Amino acid sequence: MPEYETALGASSLKDITLLGRDLAEDVMGSVGFGELAFWLATQRRPTPGETRVFEAVLAALADHGFTPTAIVSRLTLLSAPDSIQGALAAGLLGGGSRFLGVTEDCGRFLHAQLPADLPTDDAGWDELALAVVTAQREAQRFVPGLGHHVHKEGDPRTPRLFQIAAEENLYGPHLQLFAAIGRVHPRILGKTLPLNGAGVCGAALADLGLPLELLRGFALLARTAGLMGQLAEELRHPVGNEIFLSVDLHNRSVAPDPYEPPAQHSSDAEGGRHG
Amino acid sequence: MPEYETALGASSLKDITLLGRDLAEDVMGSVGFGELAFWLATQRRPTPGETRVFEAVLAALADHGFTPTAIVSRLTLLSAPDSIQGALAAGLLGGGSRFLGVTEDCGRFLHAQLPADLPTDDAGWDELALAVVTAQREAQRFVPGLGHHVHKEGDPRTPRLFQIAAEENLYGPHLQLFAAIGRVHPRILGKTLPLNGAGVCGAALADLGLPLELLRGFALLARTAGLMGQLAEELRHPVGNEIFLSVDLHNRSVAPDPYEPPAQHSSDAEGGRHG
Amino acid sequence: MPEYETALGASSLKDITLLGRDLAEDVMGSVGFGELAFWLATQRRPTPGETRVFEAVLAALADHGFTPTAIVSRLTLLSAPDSIQGALAAGLLGGGSRFLGVTEDCGRFLHAQLPADLPTDDAGWDELALAVVTAQREAQRFVPGLGHHVHKEGDPRTPRLFQIAAEENLYGPHLQLFAAIGRVHPRILGKTLPLNGAGVCGAALADLGLPLELLRGFALLARTAGLMGQLAEELRHPVGNEIFLSVDLHNRSVAPDPYEPPAQHSSDAEGGRHG
Amino acid sequence: MPEYETALGASSLKDITLLGRDLAEDVMGSVGFGELAFWLATQRRPTPGETRVFEAVLAALADHGFTPTAIVSRLTLLSAPDSIQGALAAGLLGGGSRFLGVTEDCGRFLHAQLPADLPTDDAGWDELALAVVTAQREAQRFVPGLGHHVHKEGDPRTPRLFQIAAEENLYGPHLQLFAAIGRVHPRILGKTLPLNGAGVCGAALADLGLPLELLRGFALLARTAGLMGQLAEELRHPVGNEIFLSVDLHNRSVAPDPYEPPAQHSSDAEGGRHG
């Protein structure tokens, strides 16, 4: 008979433990929600400074207004008002590569660039960043975390998160490299792009030592709180039906366009990803 | 052209606001994650006491080990490891009436029983609770929040949450009535049942003035942090494949059992719910 | 050690069976997809006539253009293009009480009204329908399946499905009662409403002897094919980003509106649903 | 004001069209569900032979017993019985790279290997297949569709689908190459592996000219019918609670294992996927 090990929640007749602690006595009333989320994900209790940086990241990522995920949650609530869990889940499903993925991509990217021996001063970081940006450019790939479609002159979250991390002595190599990329990239790209908020959040989460495979998950946790805000507002000041009608009433019926498969050896053929 | 109003996130070239505040300056670094979630859902900033009770509730509901939602998240990660958002969403979809719904049911139920003029002492609350339990019994309905399949002698979260709420002067009418139900129900039901943790959480959230329609949503927010813990543990100490095999290897193929529709006027016919 | 019984798929070294049949030899190549879905859900193989009515229902429910579910799937694909499963799942989550629920509500409602001894002629059905509509009106409840916001003079799917069911000798008591409701309701309601397509589909599915608890599921199955169409079109002729921008660019930031909980004994208090 | 074009469903006061056809008159009653799904996805009506191959693929992929997706759907129904859409959606979310992805991977892989000038006889296909398998081996990558953990001596679906495709004159280049891989791979790999059913389905779908980006979607459509079967069986012969208990009752509480981030320049660092 298999046994399933876990260090998370466990119950007996009289006790409930979580992460080896007594849930009622040692967690409830004394552990904040951000701290708890960090603890659950790493099985180690964060310091107050780590909690502050972590919660700053969650705040930065919680809500950005009418994003696709917010619209999706509101429309799902409109369509299935009996199922809050469905509206939340539908919203989270938009948390993929394009809108919420930058945080993870940036954290992973920066991590992959760090050498075993880290630079020890800004000049060293700039040198590393120059090599990184040059290599990406030569490979015709973007640098994750660079550029923003609205905040073209700078994303206000970025300097603030650098500052908070510095205050807590958590300005580690991922943030160092990210900052250096911000300094040097104009020399290679010929234009100045902002370091965006999603990217700096990925760098900060990586410096907190959180699992790189789960960085997107923290963005989703933050977004869950944001979607609760969206749903609460939708219940009181609904816009979902108006959004639906703005689309439905402006549909235009067109003739079918039969699909033709691409010719063999088309340029988007890339081989088996899992092959 | 319709306009869509929101008090949540908004961006311009240089600024990002959230709930009317400057996100970078006024929220990041100074607002905790539980506090932020409360604020987003109600559009009012909670007091420190409200935040403490709210975060105690979130801690109480975050993770209970190998619940169906946890198993579902782990199996979905096993099956689709490329999509953390899918694993989280799948887990949340189990947040329905049976496992996570008690919090909402209890909060709504208690609210519906409160008279315009509230009792002013324990005797008054006991009298109200006696009437409430008697009415439920006569209608052959359970009292939400009463009973637990493991903690038969008492759920340790319940007295702790009463205590925390009292410390913060947030022991309001929903908690009062719930406590009174705990005191009087043996007289009517003839046995002593524990007040369970999910129920007391619903009472506490209702006393915090949170929207009753969203109480399940707060349980889901708590659970999102718990599922992150489950997924993080699954990545390092996987049990998903063993769970899958424990089912798949013990399947037994049986002959089809052709479905017969129920006779007309069967007892489970209940009329159009939305009719 | 528990064993898990199933009559569905089973595999051994050389064989795969499904519903007790050899999948490769007896199912692949000879069983259509609608027929298979019916068989899987009921564990009995439908007749050709049953399959024709069932597939007519699936066609009627597959796609209705830019419904909330379609918009949600497209926006989720926009946001997470790496996860087709997420885009489909998000779309299905809108299949709740409001937009896709009528089929189930109508089937259940009609079933609940059928007496043990069924009428034997139109006059008898009309009498039953009069009683049913009168009772709903007195209870101030709608009759499921009656009325449509676009097809005010008649939903073209309704007479067609009646006709197909009649051709296949599958015009049973649920369709009989639904048709009678269509004939008599103006006498009680004082106006003529169309019998809508979602409703007649529910009646037809109930007459096919399908499980009432799963009628919504068949609407979701039909919708899955429709969502595949939506996603295929979105990949080639995208509108998702334009929909997103039409909302995001027309947002208007307003001041927070702090939530006030309802007074005690508000009229929407309804007691514990699962109490 | 933007307009949103679609060739799918459209409604006016009296009419409903789908793909430019009158839904009630031209689709309901005469178009099968598999045929309709193909038509929706490609906006062209398949021939009877194409429909037969397509439906054979859907049958092959519909259900494989207690897969993770089936278990997930059943547990979600257990936990949230009020939401069939949630149980279906949760099951589909497991349709990712590992369990349902082979169909898409194999179709894409084969397509990418096809030269502009196709071989004209088996010897030519074998030569191409030898080159393909050799290249994969040298790159230390698997060949998608090759191997099966149960059907080690051959997957019965594979020869059957080859046969059906041949009967319908739809044995195209993807199936040709896949068959050739089956013939030649032992020469390079030194052992004989079966061509699996998920792989041959991908080849057949690609030969039908279906969009490669959506091949996984067709597997999900098939699986939706399978999950309906799982849910229908769960409602009548439930195993979900027993599965849940088999895990929960065999949990073993262990001490937390604090997470240590990987060292810099760890071998799994791969750079920004979207960088």
CB atoms near residue B271 (< 10 Å): 17
Q: What is the dihedral angle through the alpha carbons of B142, B145, B149, B155, rounded to the nearest 10 degrees? A: -150
Residues of D in contact with C230 (CB under 8 A): 8
Structure tokens at A272: 């088996």
Contact D136, C5 (CB under 8 A): no
Q: Tokens 């005010």 sit at which residue?
A: C152
- Name the token pair of C212: 């009432």
Least confident of A9-13, A41-45, A212-216, B200-204: A9-13
pLDDT at residue A275 is higher than 60 = no
Split at pLDDT 50, 70, 90, the class of B265 is low
d(CA D17, CA C64): 9
Residue A269, token pair as written in the block:
């053929």
Q: What is the ipTM of this complex?
A: 0.94
In the sheet where B16-18 sits, what is the strand order?
B10-11, B16-18, B21-22
CB D272, CB A113: distance < 8 Å: no
How far apart CA A88 and CA C93 sit, in angstroms, is 10
Q: How confident is the model at residue B272 (pLDDT cuts 50, 70, 90)?
A: very low
| Closest C-alpha to D194, from D158, D140, D142 | D158
pLDDT at D2 (0 to 100): 82
Task: Please check whether residue D75 is in contact with residue B74, taking contact to mean a CB–CB distance below 8 angstroms.
Answer: no
pLDDT band (50, 70, 90) for residue A272 = very low
Closest Cβ opposite residue A90 in set C90, C243, C251 = C90
The residue among A13, A65, A58 whose CA lies nearest residue A32 is: A58
B272 interfacial to chain C (CB closer than 8 Å)? yes
Q: Assess contact for B62 and A36: CB atoms under 8 A.
A: yes
Does D227 contact B at CB distance below 8 Å? no
Residue A202 contacts residue A145 (beta carbons within 8 Å): yes
Q: Do C13 and D152 touch (CB under 8 A)?
A: yes
Query: How confident is the model over A98-156, as pLDDT tens digits?
Result: 777 899 999 999 999 999 999 999 999 999 999 999 999 999 999 999 999 888 889 99
**CB count, 10 Å around CB of A117?**
9
Q: Return the bridge partners of D4, or none.
A: A251
Q: Chains meeting C at 3+ CB pairs closer than 8 A? A: A, B, D
Q: What pLDDT is attached to residue A224?
A: 98
What the block records as the tokens of B142 is 């359970």
Q: What one-character-per-residue DSSP string does B99-151 give?
A: TTTHHHHHHHHHHHH--SS---SHHHHHHHHHHHHHHHHHTT-PPTTB--SS-
Q: What is the mean pLDDT of chain A?
A: 93
Three-state DSSP state, D30? coil
Inter-chain CB proximity A237 and B93 less than 8 Å: no
Q: Are strands A10-11 and C16-18 parallel, antiparallel or unpaired?
A: unpaired
DSSP state of B5: E
Residue A135, burial from CB neighbour count under 10 angstroms (0-12, 13-18, 19+): middle
Q: 3-state DSSP call for residue B10?
A: strand
List the domains of chain A with CATH numbers.
Answer: 17-95+214-236 (no CATH), 102-213 (1.10.230.10)
pLDDT value, residue A149: 84
Q: Is residue C97 within 8 Å of residue A81, measured between CB atoms?
A: yes
Rg (CA), chain D: 22
Report the alpha-carbon angle D240-A94-B92, nearest 5.
Answer: 25
| Distance (Å) from the alpha carbon of D88 to chain A's nearest alpha carbon | 11
Looking at the DSSP assignment, which residues form a beta bridge with residue D21?
D18
Which residues in chain D touch residue C11, judged by CB atoms under 8 angstroms apart?
64-65, 150-151
Work out the average pLDDT over A242-246.
95
Tell me which chain A residues have a C-beta less than 8 angstroms from the C-beta of C236.
257, 259
pLDDT higher than 90, residue B12: no
Q: Do D239 and C5 touch (CB under 8 A)?
A: yes
- State residue D271's pLDDT score: 39
Q: Is D76's Cβ below 8 Å from some Cβ in C?
A: no
Write down the pLDDT at residue D265: 60
Q: Does C14 touch chain B (CB under 8 A)?
A: no
- Mean pLDDT computed over A175-200: 97
Burial of A56 from C-beta contacts in 10 A (0-12 / 13-18 / 19+): buried
Kindly list the residues from chain A whose CB atom is less than 8 angstroms away from the CB atom of residue D85. Answer: 80, 83, 86
pLDDT-derived band of residue B119, with 50, 70 and 90 as boundaries? very high
DSSP characters over B74-104: HHHHHH-TT-HHHHHHHHHTT-STTTTTHHH
Beta bridge partner(s), residue A6 = D253
What was the pLDDT predicted at D250?
93
Closest chain A CA to residue B216: A84
Name the DSSP class of B194: P
Q: Which residue has the tokens 């094919």?
A: C225
pLDDT tier at D234, thresholds 50, 70, 90 = very high
Look at residues B196, B189, B166, B32 and name the one whose alpha carbon lies nearest to residue B106.
B196
Question: With contacts defined as CB-CB under 8 Å, which chain B residues touch C265?
Answer: 112, 114-116
The C-alpha angle with vertex A103 and arms to A99 and A107, in degrees rounded to 5, equals 150
**pLDDT band of B264, cuts 50, 70, 90:** confident
With a cut of 70, say whether residue A212 has pLDDT above it.
yes
A contact chains, 3+ CB pairs < 8 A: B, C, D
User: What is the chain B residue with the closest CA to C268?
Assistant: B112
Angle between helix C102-113 and C173-189 (nearest 10)? 90
Q: For the segment D68-81, what is each residue's pLDDT rounded down to a tens digit?
A: 999 999 999 999 99
Q: Which of A63, A214, A224 sits opposite B221 (nearest CB)?
A: A224
- Separation CA B24–CA B218 (nearest Å): 25
Where residue D96 falls among pLDDT bands split at 50, 70, 90? confident
Contact A6 D252 (CB under 8 A): yes
Residue A228 pLDDT exceeds 60: yes
Residue among C41, C96, C155 whose CB faces D232 most closely: C41
Check A5 against D251: CB less than 8 A apart: yes
D65 contacts chain B (CB < 8 A)? yes
Residue D80, both tokens: 């949230």
C100 chain-A contacts, CB cut-off 8 A: 79
Cα→Cα distances B275→B272, C135, D184, Å: 5, 11, 64
Quick one: tokens of D124? Answer: 């030519």
**A32-54 residue pLDDT tens:** 999 999 999 999 999 999 999 99
Q: How many helices (H) and strands (E) does chain A have?
A: 11, 5
Residue type at position B230: Q
C-alpha distance across the termini of chain A, in Å: 34
CB contact set of B238 (below 8 Å; sequence gap of 6+): B74, B78
C240 to A68: CB separation less than 8 angstroms, yes or no: yes
pLDDT band at B251 (very low <50, low <70, confident <90, very high): very high
Question: How many angstroms separate the CA atoms of C192 and B244, rounded?
Answer: 55
The CA R_g of chain A, rounded to the nearest whole Å, is 22
Query: Any idea which of B191-200, B245-254, D158-167, D264-273 has the lowest mean pLDDT?
Result: D264-273
Q: pTM for this one? A: 0.95
What's the CA gap between C28 and D63, in Å, rounded?
13
The residues near C138 (Cβ < 8 Å, ≥ 6 apart) are: none
Q: What is the pLDDT along chain C (275 residues), one digit of tens a residue?
A: 789 999 999 998 889 999 999 999 999 999 999 999 999 999 999 999 999 999 999 999 999 999 999 999 999 999 999 899 999 999 999 987 777 789 999 999 999 999 999 999 999 999 999 999 999 999 999 999 999 988 988 999 999 999 999 999 999 999 999 999 999 999 999 999 999 999 999 999 999 999 999 999 999 999 999 999 999 999 999 999 999 999 999 999 999 999 998 877 644 444 333 33
CB contact under 8 A, D98 and B86: no
Structure tokens at B169: 């002067």
Chain B residues whose CB is inside 8 A of the C274 CB are 97, 101-102, 105, 142, 144
Distance from C-alpha of A22 to C-alpha of B256, rounded to nearest angstrom: 48
Cβ of A197: how many Cβ atoms within 10 Å?
27
Query: What whole-number distance in Å separates Cα of residue A149 and Cα of residue A161?
Result: 20
Closest-approach residue (CA) in chain C for B87: C86
Q: Is C141 exposed, middle or buried (0-12, 13-18, 19+ CB in 10 A)?
A: middle
How much is the average pLDDT of B238-250? 95
Is residue A95 pLDDT above 60, yes or no?
A: yes
C-alpha dihedral (C102, C103, C105, C107), degrees to nearest 10: 150
- Bridge partners of A16, per DSSP, are A11
Q: Does C94 touch chain A (CB under 8 A)?
A: yes
D106 and A CB contact within 8 Å: yes
**Hunting for tokens 């992973």 — which residue is that?**
A108
Cβ of residue A122 closer than 8 Å to a chain B Cβ: no
User: At what angle are helices B68-79 and D240-248 packed, to 10 degrees?
Assistant: 90
Indicate the length of chain D as a whole number.
275
Q: Is the pLDDT of residue A226 over 90?
A: yes
Taking an 8 Å cut-off on Cβ atoms, the answer to whether C97 and A78 are in contact is no
Residue of A33, A82, A97, A148 for testing the chain B interface, max B β-carbons within 10 Å: A33
What's the CA gap between A142 and A145, in Å, rounded? 9
Please answer whether residues D33 and D41 qualify as being in contact, where contact means their C-beta atoms are separated by less than 8 angstroms.
no
> In terms of CA atoms, which chain A residue is nearest residue C72?
A72
pLDDT at C13: 85
Structure tokens at D183: 């013939």
Among chain C residues, the shortest Cα distance to D65 is held by: C9
Using a CB-CB cut-off of 8 Å, the residues of chain C touching B5 are: 251-254
